[in-house]
Chains A and B, each alone.
Chain A
Amino acid sequence: DAGVTQSPTHLIKTRGQQVTLRCSPKSGHDTVSWYQQALGQGPQFIFQYYEEEERQRGNFPDRFSGHQFPNYSSELNVNALLLGDSALYLCASSVAFDGPWGYTFGSGTRLTVV
């Protein structure tokens, strides 16, 4: 049973560029959440997608946007990259309305902005 798959695993971008990160949820899961984890910090909630719509959003600027596809996979887009966007980006999938117990995290995409 495949877990949560994220791609790419590592990425280096230049300030001002745009980046797209991808996530395939665990089989049977229909909800995808994205988290940003800066070095030495806990993961911070970016947003959650369900039924192809953004369901909840954390305190992140509009430069951060996302999308969910009919097959439940999701993308996270970040525009106008800043050095401070360097972090581990984690995708977590779950089943809607099942609560937080069934969260499964992917291994993340490590983004470095230079």
Chain B
Amino acid sequence: RKEVEQDPGPFNVPEGATVAFNCTYSNSASQSFFWYRQDCRKEPKLLMSVYSSGNEDGRFTAQLNRASQYISLLIRDSKLSDSATYLCVVPYNTDKLIFGTGTRLQVFP
């Protein structure tokens, strides 16, 4: 089993739609988790972190299910500017980041 697994997509959604991305991880000892956003040919940037059951920031909600070793990212009211690749990230030994392959989102008018 891969350390971090994501559905690569792409997800093609219209503006205003709600979209959810899923991620599973194998290290049951992990305590914190991240979602990063990466625009085409750019560096990854931290979008959200989640430590307990969930975290909400505006249109973005990250949820964690430790029993199932599952993380999700929900984007409500999608904007054209949300088009990017979303990377699920699990820290290992507090210093090394393990990235999923990323889920590509394309929001169309």
Contacts and interface: CB of A to CB of B under 8 A. Distances in A.
A110 B87 CA distance: 19
Contacts of B47: none
B99 A42 contact: yes
A110 B101 CA distance: 18
B43 A100 contact: no
Contacts of B91: 99-100
Interface string A37-58: 0001111110010000001101
A56 B45 contact: no
Given A90-B44, A105-B44, A45 B97 contact: yes
Interface in A78-100: 88, 90, 92, 94, 97, 99-100
Nearest to B8: A40
Given A45-B96, A48-B95, A107-B42, 8 more contacts: A31-B95, A42-B101, A90-B44, A99-B32, A100-B95, A100-B97, A103-B97, A107-B43
Interface of A: 31, 33, 35, 40-45, 48, 55-56, 58, 88, 90, 92, 94, 97, 99-101, 103, 105-108, 110
